[in-house]
Amino acid sequence: MDGLRTVRGLALALAVWFLPGAVAAQTSAEVRADAAVRDRVNGGTVGVISGGVDGTYVRIASDLAAVLDNREQLRVLPILGKGSLRNLTDILYLRGVDVGIVQSDVLAYAQREKLFPTIDKRVRYIAKLYNEEFHLLAGRDIGGVKDLAGRKVNFDVAGSGTEMTASLLFDRLGVAVERTSFDQALALEKLKSGEIAALAYVAGKPARLFRDAGNAGGDGAGGAGGLHFLPIPAEADLLDTYLPSQLGHDDYPGLIPDGQSVGTVAVGAVMAVYNWEEDNDRHRKVAAFTRALFDNFEEFRKPPRHAKWREVNLAAQVPGWTRFGAAERWLDTHKTD
């Protein structure tokens, strides 16, 4: 009996002795397997910083995920953003952000404010998406932009794309105004009551904000307070960043008479990326994303994708920006005479 106990004790001791090695070997195998899965999953993951939940940018990012997932082993992760300037910051510094949707004038604004050293060399654009028009709505006593000197003009809330664009535009036009920072709905009410002289708003026409601002009869009479859009002069200092555009009666029948139009400028929505070195893994990932986007672009023009995709011209250039190398090469290869 004592011999049997001795044998059992020895067997137990040997099992305990070898168990850590067995567990370690199993754990090591699992770690290697997990690492392989992690590398595979993250290798094609592209983070796209967009906009708020109610905006167009996030819809565009969602479409990117719907169409491009599993193409070139990609997985697109839409990320909610907090405005063009914040998105630019995230492209430069935030881990996991590979692509950002921003207003095209964010680069000029960052340069003017000296926010980031050599920013023009650090970011590139894949493609311009669509235009958003600059609206400047004023009361009856304001005949032109110059009349706003020293008057209260609403630039939207602090940090917004409108604030950035309005700041640049008035600066380049040489018109110093008293800025206010009301949200747009409140600003419109203050404009109607005469508390402010004008409001600025960047949005794709027709903007819902102005739907009920004019004459309900659709004769362009301007409604309460004689509200009307001010023309923005197409000066050279503006056109190196913005594109000429028009607001028409069909866009705003209650604010613009039939047969008339108001000249303005438009800012493009741009798909921006960091300018990685070409031998960098992040560059290769963004290049694969770019090829997949361009190769499958016709899918974005079909329902149920956002209607703004049908305004996109992949070859369109953006003043003040340099195109991402992989996008430029794709366009050169697919150029038609």
**Per mean pLDDT, which range of 13-27, 30-44, 144-158, 181-195 is the poorest?**
13-27
Query: To which residue do tokens 């000296």 refer?
Result: 114
Distance of CA 276 to the CA centre of its chain: 19
Q: How confident is the model at residue 203 (pLDDT cuts 50, 70, 90)?
A: confident
**Other beta carbons within 10 Å of 321:** 19
Q: For residue 177, what are its two tokens?
A: 């105004």
Say which DSSP state 323 is in. Answer: B
Q: Is the pLDDT of residue 217 over 80?
A: no
Task: State the pairing for strand pair 178-180/152-154.
Answer: parallel
Q: Is the pLDDT of residue 11 over 90?
A: no
Q: For residue 333, what are its two tokens?
A: 């290869």
Question: Which pLDDT belongs to residue 280?
Answer: 95
Q: For residue 75, what are its two tokens?
A: 């997985």
- Sign of the alpha-carbon torsion through 142, 148, 152, 156: positive
Q: Is the pLDDT of residue 179 over 80?
A: yes
Q: Is the pLDDT of residue 206 over 60?
A: yes
Distance of CA 50 to the CA centre of its chain: 5
Of 128, 69, 93, which Cα lies nearest the Cα of 274?
93
Say which DSSP state 233 is in. Answer: P
Give the Cα separation of 135 and 229 in Å (integer): 7
Q: Are the CB atoms for 88 and 94 separated by under 8 Å?
A: no
Of 166, 100, 101, which Cα lies nearest the Cα of 133?
166
For the segment 26-62, what is each residue's pLDDT rounded down to a tens digit?
578 777 777 767 767 677 899 999 987 767 888 999 9
Give the pLDDT mean for 78-106.
Answer: 93
Question: Which pLDDT belongs to residue 313?
Answer: 96
Give the Cα separation of 305 and 335 in Å (integer): 25
Q: Is the pLDDT of residue 23 over 80?
A: no
202, exposed or middle or buried, with CB in 10 Å at 0-12, 13-18, 19+? buried
25, exposed or middle or buried, with CB in 10 Å at 0-12, 13-18, 19+? exposed
**Per mean pLDDT, which range of 39-43, 66-70, 155-159, 201-205 is the poorest?**
39-43
Give the Cα separation of 47 and 320 in Å (integer): 25
Give the Cα separation of 81 and 90 in Å (integer): 9
Q: How confident is the model at residue 293 (pLDDT cuts 50, 70, 90)?
A: very high
Give the Cα separation of 173 and 134 in Å (integer): 14
Give the Cα separation of 185 and 171 in Å (integer): 25
Q: Is the pLDDT of residue 9 over 70?
A: no
Query: To which residue do tokens 């600003």 refer?
Result: 187
Q: For residue 115, what are its two tokens?
A: 């926010």
For the segment 247-264, what is each residue's pLDDT rounded down to a tens digit?
999 999 999 999 999 999
Question: Which pLDDT belongs to residue 13?
Answer: 54
Of 267, 272, 270, 229, which Cα lies nearest the Cα of 247?
229
Question: Which pLDDT belongs to residue 72?
Answer: 67
Q: How confident is the model at residue 225 (pLDDT cuts 50, 70, 90)?
A: low
Question: Which pLDDT belongs to residue 65?
Answer: 97
Question: Which pLDDT belongs to residue 161?
Answer: 86
Q: Is the pLDDT of residue 16 over 60?
A: no
Say which DSSP state 316 is in. Answer: -
Q: Is the pLDDT of residue 12 over 60?
A: no
Give the Cα separation of 329 and 312 in Å (integer): 18
Domain 42-333: homologous superfamily in CATH: Periplasmic binding protein-like II (3.40.190.10)
Give the Cα separation of 164 and 166 in Å (integer): 6
**What mean pLDDT is reported for the chain?**
87
Domain ranges of the chain: 42-333
Q: Is the pLDDT of residue 4 over 60?
A: no
**Other beta carbons within 10 Å of 20:** 9
The residue with greater pLDDT, 10 or 153, is 153
Question: Which pLDDT belongs to residue 30?
Answer: 76
Task: State the pairing for strand pair 261-274/228-229.
Answer: unpaired
Cα atoms in the Cβ-side hemisphere of radius 13 Å centred on 7: 4
Amino acid at 269: A
Q: Is the pLDDT of residue 314 over 80?
A: yes
Amino acid at 213: A
Question: Which pLDDT belongs to residue 29?
Answer: 74
